[in-house]
Structure 1
Amino acid sequence: MKWLMVEDEMIEREGLKKMVTDQFTELKLIGEAVSGREAIDLAKEHHPDLITMDIKMPGMDGIQAVKEIKAWNPDIEIIMMTAYNEFEYAREVMRQGVQEYVLKPAKKSELYATFQRVLNGIAEKRQKENEGQDKQAILSLIQSNWMQAYFTERVMEHYPEELASFFPASSGKGCAMIVHLDDPQGYEEQQVWIKEELEKSTYCLVGPIQSGHFPVWVFAFKDEEKVANLSKWIRTTLQRFQSAFQKKITIGIGNLYNEPSQLIHSYHEAVIAMAFVNLQKGYVLYDEAKSQLAPGAFNRVVQEKKIYEAVRSGDSDLAIHQFEQLWPLLDEGVEERISYCKDLVHAVYGIIKEMGIAEQSLLSDFPEEMNPSDWRKWAVQKVAQASDGIRSWKHVTSKDAIWEAEEWIKSHFEEPITLEDVAEHVSLSPYYFSKIFKERLNKSFVDYLTDLRVVKAKELLTTTDKPLKEISQLVGYKDPNYFSRVFKKRMGVTPSEYRVPSMKS
C-alpha cells in the first residue's frame, strides 16, 4: 500500500517514518510533503492509499488540503495528525470524510492501533472490489464459454448456487429460455437489445449465439408481477422486438423453479419447448407444449434429449437404455424407423464434432440392406461407440491436462497465478478444469496452490534469514499480512513463531 506523509517538521517526519515502516512492512512511503499544496500535487502524482496529514502547516493548512484531495479522490484514506486537541478541528475534518484523528504526541500503541484500523479498512475495501471484479470476470468468462452446449450444461449442473450468488435475488423463482433469431442479419445488435430488455426485469446471464440460438438463464425476477404473468411479459417483449427490428424471434421457456440447482431442468425443458414453438405466437412454455401435444410425440422428444445427454456424459450404458426406451415410441413403419436411425446417428455425430472429437467412422459404414432389427442394433452400436469415444476423450484429456497443470503450477506458484490462468494454459474451461482437478487430486486448486506455497515458505523460514516480507513475495503473496494469515491457518502458528524454534535448533 502507498503512503504519503504530510508534515512540515523534519524531526516529526523522521520519527513517524521509522515507527510506521518498522511496524507495517506492507506500507511503502512514496512521498513527503511539507505543505498542503505540495500534498495535493504529490497525491495526484502518486495516487496513495493512505495520507497522514498535519493540520497546522505554512500556507494551505491540512484541513483545506483534505477538502481538495477528497473532492478529487474520496477513496484515499487520511489520518489527521495534530497537536491541537480542539473539537472544532475534529468536527471539520470529520465533515471531509476523515475517520481517524491522532493527537500528538501519541503513544506507540495508540498510533499503531490507528494505523492498523485504517489498513484493515483499506484491505477489506480492496477485497470487496476484487470480489466484484472477479465476479464480473467470471460472468464474462461463463458467457464466452457458452459456445459449446456441453460446457453450458456443466456450468449450471455444478455451480448454480455460485452463479446465483452474483445477483441480488428479488423473487425466488427463475427459469431458462432458448431464444432463436430468425434473420441472421444483425444478430449481434438484436441479441444486445434482448439482453438489455431482459435485464430490466430479471437478473440473468445471456450466452453467445450459436446457429441463431442463444440460452438465457434467469436467476430471479425483479418483481413478482412478471412471475405471475410470464406469458404476458414474454408476449410484450416479442412485440417490442418486432417493432424495433421488423423481425421475428421465437422463444422456448422452461418451467419456473425456486432453487438455482433446478435451473438445469428448466434449461432442458426450454430446449424441448423450442421444438414445439408456434411460429405465429412466437413462444411456448414447456407445460403448454406438454399439454397441447399427443403424449407419444412429446415423450419422443423428451426421450431423444435423454439420449443426447447420456452420450455427452460418456455413459454408453445409459445412452443404450434411453434408446431402448425410445424405440417403442417410434412410428411402426419400416422406412420411418430406418430414417430415424440414420438421423439419430447424424445427431450423435454432431455432438462429438461439437466437442472437437474426430470420429469419422460413425458415418463411414451406413448399411444398405438390413431388416429393421439390424438397423436397431446398428444404431445402438453407434450410440455406444460415440459415448465410449467421449468418455475416453474426457479421461485422456483430463489426465494429460492435470499432469500438465501440476507441472505448470509448480513452476509458477511464486507468481500471482489464478485458476483461470492454469485452465487457459491447458486449454480447458475454468469450470471443467476445476471439477476434474479436484476429482484427480482430491483437493481444490486453491488448496493445492496454498500447500505448495506453505511448504516452500517453511523451507525458506528454516534455512534462510530472509525477512518475512521477502519470503512472502518469493512464495507468491504480495501482502505479507495475508501471507501470515494463510500460513497460520495451515500451520497453527505465524511465520515468525514457526521460525523462532527452527532457528534456535
Structure 2
Amino acid sequence: MYRLLIADDEALEREGIEWIVNRMMPDTFETIHAENGRMAIQKAEEHRPHIVMMDVRMPGIQGLEALKEIKTQHPQAKMVLITAYENFEYAKQAISLGVHEYLVKPAKREQIVSVLSRLVQELEEEQHKRDEELAVREQFFQLLPLAETEIALHLMSGHVNETETGHLADILQLPVDKGCSLVLGLSEVGEAKKKVYDAVKTAAHAAPKDSYGTVVSSLIHSHMALFLLGTRQTGDSALADGASELGTRLADVLREQCGMAVPVGIGTVQNRAEGIKRSYYEAVFASRYDQEGGGICRFEDLMQASGAGGTHAEKLINGSRDAGESAYVELAIRQIREERE
C-alpha cells in the first residue's frame, strides 16, 4: 500500500478525500491526516508518505511553505496542491517546488481519482526502474571477481591482447600503463585451497595503496599471481616498494593463518600489458629460486647478483629456459587457458 498524506485545516475536506479514495481505490492507500502545515511536516517526517495532498491556505505555516520543507526532506514524494482558486501565481510557485498536479475545491471524485491514479502509475514505474537498476548493479558486482580473475589470466597467459585487457581494466577501474607481478610459490594445498585463496585475496585488497591497484589470480598449478597496476604517473619505486611490502604481508598471513612457509617472487616494474606479463615470468622464476626458505626474492636482486653479463635469470626470461623451469611455466599457462575456457 502507498502512504497518502492529506493536509487541510478543514476536517470535512480531509475525511471526504479519504472516503473517496477508500471507495474508488480500495486497498491502495494508507491515509494520514494533518490539520496544518506544521503538523504536515511532522507527519511527513514520521510516515514518509508517497503522495502529499496539501491545501494552500492553512493557519500557521502555509501550504506552499510546508510543501517546500517536505520536498527538501523527501524529494521522491509526489505533491498535489489543493486550492480554492485557480490562481496563476500559486501554480507558478507550485511548479518551482516540483508540484505538477493540483486540484481546485470542491474537487470532483473523478478528478481526485484521476490525479491519484496517475501518481500511483508514476510510483510503480519509478519502482520498476529502481528494481531494474539494482538488478543490474547486483549483476555487475557479482561479475567483478570474474573480471579480476580474467584480467589476471590475460596477464599470465602466453599472448596478451592489449585491447581486451584494457576493456577488463576499465570495468575494474584499474590502469594498466605499468605494473609488476608477485608470485606465491605454493606447494600442494589440497583441501586448504579455498582457505589459502581467500586469505591471499583478503590480505591483498586490504593492504593500503594510494597510487596503484591490485589484481589477484586464482590458484593455478601450485602458484598464485598478483599484479600491482599503476598509471604512467605512478613512480616505479612506489610499485616496487608496494610489491615488497605486499609480499611480506602475504607471507606472514599464510604463515599465521594457514601454517605455510611460502616463497614469494617479485618481478620488475614494466610498462604496458606485455611488459607486465614479462614481470610475471620474472616473478615465477624468483619464486622458484629458493623454495626452501619461504622468503621474499626479487628478480631485480637476482639480476644484480648475477653480474653485468646476466646469467641464468636473464636467459630464463629471454627464452633460454632450462627444462625444469620451462615445463613449470608452460604447464601453468596450459592450465590458465583451460580455466579461461
**TM-score using structure 2 length:** 0.53
Q: Which amino acid aligns with 2:75?
A: P
Matches within 5 A, 1:90-239: 90-145=91-146, 180-182=180-182, 188-189=206-207, 193-195=211-213, 210=218, 211-213=224-226, 236-239=232-235
Q: Distance in 2 between matches of 1:62 and 1:78?
A: 11
Q: Distance in 2 between matches of 1:11 and 1:92?
A: 27
More contact order relative to length (CA 8 Å, sep ≥ 6): 2
Whether contact under 8 Å (1:78, 1:98) holds in the other structure is: yes
Name which of 247, 268, 271 aligns with 1:279: 268
Q: Distance in 1 between matches of 2:143 and 2:63?
A: 48
Shift of 1:114: 1.9
Shift of 1:52: 0.9
Whether contact under 8 Å (2:179, 2:239) holds in the other structure is: no
Aligned to 2:35: 34
Shift of 1:99: 1.5
Aligned to 1:58: 59
Residues 79 and 339 (structure 1), Cα distance of their counterparts in 2 relative to 1, 3 Å cut: closer
Aligned to 1:478: none
Aligned to 1:71: 72
Q: Distance in 1 between matches of 2:228 and 2:27?
A: 46
Residues 28 and 86 (structure 1), Cα distance of their counterparts in 2 relative to 1, 3 Å cut: same
Whether contact under 8 Å (2:178, 2:272) holds in the other structure is: no
Q: Which amino acid aligns with 1:86?
A: N
Shift of 1:55: 1.5
Whether contact under 8 Å (1:144, 1:207) holds in the other structure is: no
Q: Which amino acid aligns with 1:188?
A: A
Shift of 1:236: 1.5
Q: Which amino acid aligns with 2:242?
A: K
Residues 149 and 95 (structure 1), Cα distance of their counterparts in 2 relative to 1, 3 Å cut: closer
Whether contact under 8 Å (1:178, 1:213) holds in the other structure is: no
Whether contact under 8 Å (1:6, 1:35) holds in the other structure is: yes
The residue matched to 2:58 in structure 1 has which SS? Answer: coil
Residues 341 and 87 (structure 1), Cα distance of their counterparts in 2 relative to 1, 3 Å cut: closer
Aligned to 1:47: 48
- Greater CA radius of gyration, 1 or 2? 2
Q: Which amino acid aligns with 1:40?
A: I
Whether contact under 8 Å (1:3, 1:27) holds in the other structure is: no
Whether contact under 8 Å (1:51, 1:78) holds in the other structure is: yes
Residues 209 and 339 (structure 1), Cα distance of their counterparts in 2 relative to 1, 3 Å cut: closer
Residues 32 and 193 (structure 1), Cα distance of their counterparts in 2 relative to 1, 3 Å cut: farther
Whether contact under 8 Å (1:176, 1:215) holds in the other structure is: no
**Aligned pair count?**
242
User: Which structure has more strand as a fraction of its residues?
Assistant: 2
Q: Which amino acid aligns with 2:271?
A: Y
Shift of 1:121: 2.6
RMSD: 4.9
Shift of 1:86: 1.4
Matches within 5 A, 1:101-500: 101-145=102-146, 180-182=180-182, 188-189=206-207, 193-195=211-213, 210=218, 211-213=224-226, 236-239=232-235, 242-243=237-238, 246-247=241-242, 279=268, 282-286=270-274, 336=323
Aligned to 1:20: 21
Shift of 1:244: 7.8
The residue matched to 1:106 in structure 2 has which SS? Answer: coil
Whether contact under 8 Å (2:3, 2:49) holds in the other structure is: yes
Q: Distance in 2 between matches of 1:345 and 1:212?
A: 15
Shift of 1:345: 6.2
Q: Distance in 1 between matches of 2:28 and 2:227?
A: 48
Deviations 1:39-73 (A, max 9, x none): 11111011111111111223322122112212222
Whether contact under 8 Å (2:180, 2:267) holds in the other structure is: no
Deviations 1:183-213 (A, max 9, x none): 9886534567535xxxxxxxxxx86565342
Deviations 1:412-463 (A, max 9, x none): xxxxxxxxxxxxxxxxxxxxxxxxxxxxxxxxxxxxxxxxxxxxxxxxxxxx
Deviations 1:257-276 (A, max 9, x none): xxxxxxxxxxxxxxxxxxxx
Whether contact under 8 Å (1:181, 1:187) holds in the other structure is: no
Shift of 1:23: 3.9
Q: Distance in 2 between matches of 1:6 and 1:289?
A: 66
Identity of aligned residues (%): 21
Q: Distance in 2 between matches of 1:237 and 1:25?
A: 64
Shift of 1:182: 3.7
Residues 2 and 132 (structure 1), Cα distance of their counterparts in 2 relative to 1, 3 Å cut: same
Q: Which amino acid aligns with 1:132?
A: E
Residues 236 and 99 (structure 1), Cα distance of their counterparts in 2 relative to 1, 3 Å cut: same
The residue matched to 2:54 in structure 1 has which SS? Answer: strand
Whether contact under 8 Å (1:187, 1:212) holds in the other structure is: no
Greater alpha carbon shift after TM alignment, 94-103 vs 185-194: 185-194
Whether contact under 8 Å (1:182, 1:247) holds in the other structure is: no
Q: Distance in 2 between matches of 1:87 and 1:103?
A: 12
Where in structure 2 are there 5+ consecutive unaligned residues?
Answer: 155-163, 184-199, 219-223, 245-265, 279-318
